[in-house]
A and B are shown apart, each in its own frame.
Chain A
Amino acid sequence: MRIKNPLHQVSTPRRRFVQGVIAGGVLAAFPSVLHAASSLIAGTSTGTAPELSGEVIDLVIDESPVNFTGVVRMATTINGSIPAPTLRLREGDDVTIRVTNKLSVPSSIHWHGIILPYQMDGVPGISFKGIMPGETFVYKFKLQQSGTYWYHSHSGFQEMTGMYGALIIEPREKDIISADNEHVILLSDWTDDDPMELFRKLKIQGDVFNFNQPTVPEFFDDIATSGVANALQRREMWNQMRMSPTDLADLSASAMTYLMNGTAPMANWRGLFKAGEKVRLRFINGSSNTFFDVRIPELKLTVVQADGQNVEPVTVDEFRFGPGETYDVLVEPKNDAYTIFAQSMDRSGYAKGTLSVAANIDAPVPALDPVEWLAMRDMMGNMDHSAMPGMDHSAMGHASMDKTSMDQGAMDHSTMDHGAMAMDHSTMDHGAMAMDHSKHNMGKNPLAVPSQKVRHAKTEYGASIDMRVDTPRTNLDDPGIGLRNNGRRVLTLADLRSLDGIVDHQAPEAEIELHLTGNMERYSWSFDGLEFGKSTPVHMKHNQRVRVILQNDTMMTHPMHLHGMWSDLENDQGDVLVRRHTIMVQPAQRISFLTTPHDLGRWAWHCHLLFHMDAGMFREVVVS
């Protein structure tokens, strides 16, 4: 790969970050400090991944040295490349994937977003025991879907050290998305440090990698521009609650190098196109801990697929996606070169590459956007609760919410229990209100609309929790912190509509409410204040349509990934919008989705920020 001028137009970032070495992969000479291992002669190949296809695939997990930043480090790789080979499979095929583990520790591969038997899902400790050192595990499953997906290790931090690759399933019939050319663009993050060591540092000091913290000079600037009272007021809540308004990413560019197709920014990954071509870009966020805000200056992005599922085309300038999510976009380039720019959500760095007609043409690289403070809505949700759509208080009238009148009403507890599986008493009140409606008013399904009543778990009042939201926001049209009113058309969840026939419009028969919780000072993450080790599974009835409400009681955004079944995102009116496998939940936001677990077994459900997952924001789901 030739680069005209490696330093060309790299606008000065707010802070310097590791942009990597120009040549990825591995240098000829390795320092002798590397662990001696048998198969280390060959380095890791980086850049556009090799492609494998067919019904039988062999993958080998091993360690191999890699150099992204000027320092040689050991990576865990699949078939010796970062990213791992792109698997191009075909819908309807029965595939056999033989995975051999040559590491000295157990490993695994999870097929992210793929509907398959639970024993093939690849989560050690849940779907199987893991792939032991030296062992070959044979994955066999039928591909029941098409689209852009990915695969990665689900063991320890192996994903973070190189084990991720694209998984593309071609539709059995002709693809309704037509393009002349296509590129997989897999974004990831790399660290030269031992991930567990980074995790330990966060346990010691939660803001150790945040170099955008509020300062005293900023405070005086604020006083100068808006007066003492306003400057104090702007900080009061944060200081009182001991939370940072710039806590946007646990691991910033001070610890990470952001990669595009296994290529550091300085090395500039390149995708070629011919003039006049319509190009499909399959964006995959395969990073461990990084939200990327992706745009291609001067080029409109027409989003045609989300998480592998076709959506009604929507044209935007930019989209944000978290670890685990994928977006397919169509572009029609007119210029000779464009920069694909993916800045991290905390604005500490970026991944970038070039889309061009020839190998020697580059486009300017934009500057990082300024760091924004989290807003009140990220902390408190919707403060103006009278304006909350669907908020029951006004609609129902307070008298009808009165518990006494409820008890005196025609409420039948046994019916309730039947209708609303596993609901505790506090839901009962709400359910009862809806029930009341169904009996005496419009005969509507009590679960037609997601419940708006916030029900904190009793375990949300302890040391594992640093905040709770009582007035969550339920709107889906917020692009999120750092993207609001930036002058660009930014994709939001409200823009996405699955094409007809994709989502299931059946009404739910039960409702499950869980809160996403954490404590940044202790660096603890959980559902309902219970880290995984203290939790019990969520049971779902086989083939029963169920609504899941996720309320984010933290100030960070969490990409929530439910294995083994689809998450059909709905709005707060109960209209199903789009089928996803990973849904980003913003701070103080309450979202809901419907799912029908068609496959029996045990499934993982977690935040796809790897460190949040490992800290305990993880639940098991039992379908029986």
Chain B
Amino acid sequence: MRNLTLSTVLTSALLISAPLLSLNVFAQTEMGDMSGDMAGDKMQPQGGDAPKNARDPHAYANGTTLTQGPYALADGERLTLADEYKFYAILGDRLEYNEQADAAVFDLQAWYGTTFNRLVIKTEGDVSYGKLEENQTDILWGHAISAYWDTQVGIRYDYYKEGKNRQWLAFGIQGLAPYWFELDMTAYVGESGNTAFTAEAEYELLLTQRLIIQPRAEITFYGKDDEQNELGSGLSSTAIGVRVRYEFTRQFAPYVGVEWTNKFGSTADYAKLNEQSSNDTEFVAGLRFWF
């Protein structure tokens, strides 16, 4: 930890505290006690637990269902609306090129399913000189647990061109924290007892309805050293970026940006052994899209 500058300390502190603060959110106490006492009941416009005497939404059914009871259609036929349909999305958060390194980065997410239960695939990787250098793919089952949060459970597969591929079990949470921070945090349990934790946070500032600044931060920890892939235990790396995009449509937005990456601890030592820098500033140009 000898090369830590003040700014990297602050950056790390911020990145670590953001997810911790948002843990509060999972307890669903987000908007408690907003305007004091109301006949003894706390005002809580979001989240929370149902009081014991909360109304039963089926109390008026009197034994009828959509297919049973008087005047139901024959053969169990009933109306089906879009709440029972499945939808899909493919979201390209970053598809960018870094001229200095002659490297491309991709960061894509896709989902398929209903409003509350989805198959989620996330894939992120680097392509250098036309070859895939590294890739991390998560295949997850996403389940809505509250207004703005989904749990995500599944597997992750890491590919390294030089190094050893890894497989992990993934346990994550993704959603929107108060003040519109988009968070994505996942803990991993891998082979030979290794563990990992990654967190990503994004925010959007609208300069106009179409010109948007997006700060972004990412942090990675490992439980053990992974010598073959040159990753050290503890805080391994951070990336902080700012991108400015123009939404020609909501679904098609080219951007330019800058990203600062830092490696720490043994990960930084490995980099130095390879005569690589542990701190980089990169200018990027890319495309954000979804369909």
Contact = CB atoms under 8 A, between A and B. Distances in A.
Given A240-B31, A242-B178, A539-B60, A212 B209 contact: yes
Given A522-B115, A537-B61, A217 B147 contact: no
Given A461-B50, A463-B147, A524-B83, A536 B180 contact: no
B102 interface: no
B60 A422 contact: yes
Given A126-B79, A471-B38, A538 B71 contact: no
A461 B58 contact: no
B147 A537 contact: no
Contacts of B73: 125-126, 128-129
B193 interface: no
B206 interface: yes
Contacts of B63: 539
A204 B89 contact: yes
B5 interface: no
B54 A401 contact: no
Contacts of A514: 60
A513 interface: yes
Contact of B61 (A203, A462, A538): A538
A471 B149 CA distance: 26
Nearest to A427: B55
Contact of A521 (B47, B72, B148, B206): B148
B83 A470 contact: no
Interface string A318-357: 0000000000000000000000000000000000000000
A614 B115 contact: no
A531 B115 CA distance: 10
B59 interface: yes
Contacts of B69: 537, 539, 622, 624
Contact of B53 (A129, A217, A426, A526): A426
A472 to B, nearest CB: 12
A422 B59 contact: yes
B50 A539 contact: no
Contacts of A199: 82
A532 to B, nearest CB: 5
Nearest to A540: B60
A389 interface: no
Nearest to B144: A463
A538 B60 contact: yes
Contacts of B31: 240-241
- Of A393, A536, A538, A618, chain B has the most CB atoms within 10 Å of the CB of A536
A456 B55 contact: yes
A613 interface: yes
Contacts of B1: none
Contacts of A129: 73, 77
A47 interface: no
A522 B144 contact: yes
Contacts of B77: 125, 129
A199 to B, nearest CB: 6
A116 to B, nearest CB: 15
A3 interface: no
Interface size range of chain A in the complex: 35 or more
Contacts of B248: none
A539 B116 CA distance: 28
A602 B81 contact: no
Nearest to B88: A200
B130 interface: no
B205 to A, nearest CB: 5
A84 interface: no
A215 B209 contact: yes
Contact of B54 (A398, A456, A523): A456
B56 A125 contact: no
B62 A466 contact: no
A416 interface: no
Given A241-B46, A466-B46, A622-B70, A200 B87 contact: yes
Contact of A213 (B80, B148, B209): B209
A622 B71 CA distance: 8
Interface string B75-102: 0011111111001110100000000000
A602 B55 contact: no
A513 B61 contact: no
A204 B290 contact: yes
A378 interface: no
Contacts of A528: 55, 57
Given A470-B45, A519-B147, A458 B50 contact: yes
A510 B158 CA distance: 62
B213 to A, nearest CB: 8
Nearest to A123: B79
Interface in A363-408: 379-380, 383, 385, 393, 398, 401
Nearest to A606: B81
Interface string A505-548: 00000001110000101111011111111111111000000000
Interface string B184-212: 00000000000000000000011111000
Contacts of A616: 81-83
A364 B238 CA distance: 59
A614 B44 CA distance: 28
B68 to A, nearest CB: 10
A613 B83 CA distance: 10
Contacts of A205: 250, 290
Given A463-B116, A537-B65, A600-B71, A242 B180 contact: yes
Interface in B95-114: none
Contact of B41 (A470, A532, A614): A470
Contact of B64 (A462, A533, A536): A536
B228 interface: no
A250 interface: no
A426 B44 contact: no
B250 A533 contact: no
A604 to B, nearest CB: 8
A537 B180 CA distance: 37
Interface in B141-160: 144-149
A524 B87 contact: no
B270 to A, nearest CB: 39
Contacts of B116: 463-464, 522
Given A125-B77, A203-B115, A470-B38, A512 B54 contact: no
- Of B47, B62, B178, chain A has the most CB atoms within 10 Å of the CB of B62
Contacts of B30: 240
B49 interface: yes
Interface string B19-61: 0000000000011000100110101111111100111111111
B66 interface: yes
A180 interface: no
Contacts of B89: 200, 203-204
B56 A461 contact: no
Contacts of B45: 241, 379-380, 467-470
B129 interface: no
Contact of A216 (B57, B59, B205): B205
B176 interface: yes
A512 B45 CA distance: 22
- Of B50, B57, B77, B79, chain A has the most CB atoms within 10 Å of the CB of B57
A104 B213 CA distance: 47
B43 A240 contact: no
A118 B71 contact: yes
Contacts of B61: 536-539
9 contacts: A124-B79, A126-B73, A126-B79, A215-B207, A456-B55, A462-B146, A532-B79, A615-B83, A622-B64
| A-B complex: 3 closest residue pairs judged by Cβ atoms | A125-B79, A531-B83, A616-B83
Interface of A: 118, 123-126, 128-129, 199-201, 203-205, 208-209, 211-217, 239-242, 379-380, 383, 385, 393, 398, 401, 422-427, 455-471, 512-514, 519, 521-524, 526-539, 600-602, 604, 613-616, 618, 620, 622, 624
